[in-house]
Amino acid sequence: MSWTDRSLAVTVVGNPGLDTLVLVCEDEPDLRADGHYVRNVDTVGHTAAFTARGLARLGHTVRILGSVGDDPIGRMVADVLADDGVDTDLLFTDPAGTPRSVNLVFPDGRRTFFYDGGSHMTLVPPAGLVAQALAGADLVVSGLANWARTVLPRARAAGIPVAVDLQDARSIDDPYRVDFVASADHLFASAAHLPDPVAAARTWLAAGPAQQVVFGLGARGALLARRGAGADPDVISAPPAASPLPVVDTTGCGDSLAVGFLDGLLAEGLGPHGALSRGQRLARIVASATGNDAPFDRTDLDAAG
């Protein structure tokens, strides 16, 4: 079987936007100070863009259902997505403008962000676009735009597998994420604010149809909790991927972990260990440059293994 026989038709659900990366020179900058001398980098980002661009670079057929503003930034975002091979015909307009984020990036690659999601809490995607987005899809991958919660049940009703990135969940029972957990066959999350990710996985696996939860652990690697025979999940822990590449910016690493895992599991036919390792390798490549600027394709990812 050739690679093209294994490529997926993927619909990414969520809002792409602009990341302004503020690269600071100090581990703990004094934010009370009047000013700082930094390097600022603008790049197309947010979960939907990182996911769509990553899957397209790996050779999958990708379209995105999401919103941008009718503004110069929105047009730039759409152009960058299209340049990476993402079908942008299903982008619709957010009257509040294109989503934006300002990310403080520290010398060791850590980052914290200040996110403006536009009017995603009140937007409703046009019904006709949703039908087009789901037609012929092998997989739907969603972020947490509020309007996305109405799309995912339609995907499940159509028999399309759904993957959801819960991002930096701060509690196991966060009510905002309940609908997303209930709709997902594959769950991803950052464990940065979860003291017990296995307990979180136990709760989420019991609450929805997901077969596994993949957690990014930052510098500690990654963890995969799979539905087991009993109440407790089967757990696979993996150390960070070995690499000679520098760690420059961890923006988008969680999204890349999900992209690599799904590619390994659903396209390459890898088992859970292999898929988790593939996701970590891709995240490690992405961390080696600012934003989404690290060049990679399928050959690079295969070679990194």
Answer whether residue 34 is part of any domain: no
Question: What's the confidence (pLDDT) of residue 294?
Answer: 85
Report the predicted TM-score, pTM, of the whole model to 2 decimal places.
0.92
The mean pLDDT of 20-49, rounded to a whole number, is 89
The mean pLDDT of 32-48, rounded to a whole number, is 90
Question: What's the confidence (pLDDT) of residue 251?
Answer: 86
User: The domain spanning residue 230 has which CATH number?
Assistant: 3.40.1190.20
Answer whether residue 264 is part of any domain: yes
Answer whether residue 33 is part of any domain: no
The distance from CA 116 to its chain's CA centroid, rounded to whole angstroms, is: 17
The predicted-structure confidence for 252-298, as pLDDT tens digits, reads as follows: 889 999 999 999 999 999 999 999 999 999 999 999 988 778 889 89
Question: What's the confidence (pLDDT) of residue 248?
Answer: 87
Question: What's the confidence (pLDDT) of residue 5?
Answer: 61
Residues for the chain: how many in total? 305
Percent pLDDT > 90 in the chain is 69
Most confident of 96-105, 148-157, 235-244: 148-157
Answer whether residue 58 is part of any domain: yes
Query: C-alpha distances in angstroms, 216 versus 83, 188, 243, 265, 279?
Result: 28, 8, 17, 17, 10
Please state the domain count of the chain: 1
Inter-residue contact 274 to 234 (CB < 8 Å): no
Question: What's the confidence (pLDDT) of residue 76?
Answer: 96
Question: What's the confidence (pLDDT) of residue 4?
Answer: 52
Distance CA 180, CA 210 (A): 11
Answer whether residue 8 is part of any domain: yes
The mean pLDDT of 164-170, rounded to a whole number, is 93
Distance CA 146, CA 176 (A): 8
Q: Is the predicted pLDDT of residue 93 greater than 50, yes or no?
A: yes
The predicted-structure confidence for 199-226, as pLDDT tens digits, reads as follows: 999 999 999 999 999 999 988 999 999 9
Answer whether residue 114 is part of any domain: no
Q: CB within 8 A of 119, min separation 6: which ones? A: 94, 95, 96
Inter-residue contact 156 to 27 (CB < 8 Å): no
Residue 236 class from Cβ within 10 Å (0-12 exposed, 13-18 middle, 19+ buried)? middle
To 5 degrees, how large is the angle CA 182–CA 184–CA 187?
Answer: 115
- Would you place residue 136 in the very low, low, confident or very high pLDDT band (cuts 50, 70, 90)? very high
Answer whether residue 24 is part of any domain: no
Q: Is the predicted pLDDT of residue 238 greater than 90, yes or no?
A: no
- Domain extent for 260: 3-16+46-100+119-304
Answer whether residue 289 is part of any domain: yes
Q: Is the predicted pLDDT of residue 1 greater than 70, yes or no?
A: no
